[in-house]
Chains A and B, each alone.
Chain A
Amino acid sequence: MSVRNAVEGLSALIKGMSVTFRYLFEKPVTIEYPEIKRKPPSMFRGRHYLRLWEDGMERCIGCHLCEIVCPAQAIYVKDAPNPKDKKISKTPSYSVEFQINMLRCIFVGDCEEVCPVDCIVLSDEYELSGYTREEMIYTKDMLTEKHPGASGRDPMVKRGEARMDS
């Protein structure tokens, strides 16, 4: 190795070292996750919710579209005609059972897109874990939002009709 090569190599090493040295004084780019939680963008595809109408009636009409369109076959829907005395949804039929297997779900959001009544939405909740397989099958009780609007999803944005904020 000639002297010139040695000088060049040494200067390159020093240059590289200066880069790493500079990073010593930079703020870390990571966040301390369980303590500080990151807010995902508004379009994030996370845990599902079944939305309600403003008057508290169920939106789901048991049409099976989400079940058919799901590429991972994660959804199970069982429909039935609305009871005469107490209507559950605004159409003749409603869903008796609605299950999503969160272990199968790949969060593509097709269910959200095909839903004709803007019922099923994907929220921004991403902390989905459990100890058993059984508890990862989300039932209708778990999926239905607690009160209208609790899922925090805007159907206009969902349908792509509005250009949403990031």
Chain B
Amino acid sequence: MHPVNRQQLDLSLDLERINSDPHQGTETMILNLGPQHPSTHGVLRVVLELDGERIVHAEPHIGYLHTGIEKECEYRTYHQVVPLIDRMDYLSSLNEEMGYVLAAEKLLGIEAPKRAQYIRVMMCELSRIASHMVWLGTAALELNVSSVFMYCFRDREYVLDLFEMVAGARMFPRYFRIGGVMRDLPRGFEDAVKKFIDEFRPHWKEYHDLLTKNPIWRMRLEGTAVLTKEQCFAYALTGPVLRGSGVAYDVRKAFPYSAYPDFEFEVTTQTAGDAYARYLVRMAEMEQSLRIVEQVLEKLPAGPVIVDDRRISKPHPHRGLFVPPGESYVTIESPRGEKGYWVVSDGSNKPLRVRMRAPSFASTQAMPVLIEGGYIADAVVAIASVDPVLGDVDR
């Protein structure tokens, strides 16, 4: 009798276990989705436990894009924080700026002039369109509709051209200032916006033609990543995800900020709560954004665009912007949901603390609910449908 090979022994034991197992030959597999995966919208890593094609367990890992922006804000003056804020949710920088600037203004007890507020609203809505264009383009690309991706990025570029005209930079405009906006709209800007709207409306219809009734698109999206109203509340989900589940909650209507009460728009909801509902909500939102932009162009009042106080309006280091002690919390409706800014001042020229409530963070923590029990191919749809921006998650 020759000695038993250790490996052979293990193998035989394994076979014995497998033979006695009622689920013969099945075992789960761990798969990393991301962090370097084109469908994760950045650097989100989701550890998936798979049983065949089914996802048994999912665990999102964040922190691959941690920039320390919240901490960094404490070492910057109130004006210098704005370019940092730009880089959080890099797809809708102007919405981000809006929240911070409003929070700082609340601390200072000032209000931007009417014209500045109207310009801000217009910029935020254009930014929302640009952000939704990126979302639609990438979501479609992930489902292999690559032509829509090309068309969407074209329209996004047109919006960025408008930002470039106004502020001088495309992605990170740094246009909003505490107390107003950097400078007045350039000559010919109104016409450029009108031209954009005239071009975008037919394009928007084309996206509907391409996708909304397309049977493949519907089969992939309908019934995928369903979230009920209660689940949305439990995970603090806001924005298009919540509206897709039938709750008409929009910060622009619920807690109106800046000049939003002056404009008419509707909060669109869908009741299905699946990825298709979220798609429809976002498509409708773009139409509402266009409506707001048109109203701004109609009503845009004349006047100054920044408060008449050079200590506040200019980023001058010596005269400085010393903010009275206190704290303020402002929420805005970013394209991804409710974004909150909590700014604490200790009376110096630098904030003591700037804390953001990120909508993408909430949607990332809801990821397991969205994808567990579904197919692995649907995980991509689920991630795309909540539209997380990882710069927003890892501040």
Residues on A lying within 8 angstroms of B by beta carbon are 5, 8-9, 11-13, 15-16, 18-20, 23, 29, 40-45, 65, 68-69, 71-72, 106-110, 113-114, 122, 160, 163-166
Chain B residues whose CB sits within 8 angstroms of the CB of A122 once the complex forms: 168
Quick check: B314 and A16 within 8 Å, CB to CB? no
Beyond the given pairs A12-B214, A15-B209, A122-B168, 9 more chain A to chain B contacts, judged by CB atoms under 8 angstroms and listed by A's residue number, are A11-B213, A12-B215, A20-B147, A42-B186, A65-B318, A69-B80, A106-B83, A108-B174, A109-B168
Complex: chain A residue closest to B189, CB-CB: A166
B236 contacts A by Cβ under 8 Å: no
B232 contacts A by Cβ under 8 Å: no
Quick check: A163 and B314 within 8 Å, CB to CB? no
**Interface hits, B152-169 → A, CB 8 Å:** 154, 157, 164-169
Residues on B lying within 8 angstroms of A by beta carbon are 76, 79-80, 83-84, 147, 151, 154, 157, 164-169, 172, 174, 182-189, 192, 206, 209-215, 314-318
Complex: chain B residue closest to A71, CB-CB: B80
Task: Quote the shortest CB–CB distance from A113 to chain B (angstroms).
Answer: 6
Chain B residues whose CB sits within 8 angstroms of the CB of A114 once the complex forms: 314-317
Chain B residues whose CB sits within 8 angstroms of the CB of A65 once the complex forms: 316-318
Bound Cα distance from A159 to B314, whole angstroms: 11
Task: Quote the shortest CB–CB distance from A101 to chain B (angstroms).
Answer: 16
Bound Cα distance from A5 to B213, whole angstroms: 11
Quick check: B187 and A164 within 8 Å, CB to CB? yes
Chain A residues whose CB sits within 8 angstroms of the CB of B164 once the complex forms: 40-41, 43-44
Quick check: B186 and A43 within 8 Å, CB to CB? yes
Task: Quote the shortest CB–CB distance from B168 to chain A (angstroms).
Answer: 4
Of B157, B167, B187, B209, the contact of A16 (CB 8 Å cutoff) = B209
Of B166, B214, B215, B317, the contact of A43 (CB 8 Å cutoff) = B166
Quick check: B166 and A165 within 8 Å, CB to CB? no
Of A29, A106, A160, the contact of B154 (CB 8 Å cutoff) = A29
Chain A residues whose CB sits within 8 angstroms of the CB of B80 once the complex forms: 69, 71, 110
The 5 closest A-B pairs by CB, nearest first: A9-B215, A12-B213, A71-B80, A160-B183, A45-B168
- Knowing A20-B147, A114-B317, the reply to whether A71 touches B83 (Cβ < 8 A) is yes
Complex: chain A residue closest to B186, CB-CB: A166
Quick check: B206 and A8 within 8 Å, CB to CB? no
Task: Quote the shortest CB–CB distance from A5 to chain B (angstroms).
Answer: 8
- Knowing A45-B168, A68-B317, the reply to whether A109 touches B214 (Cβ < 8 A) is no
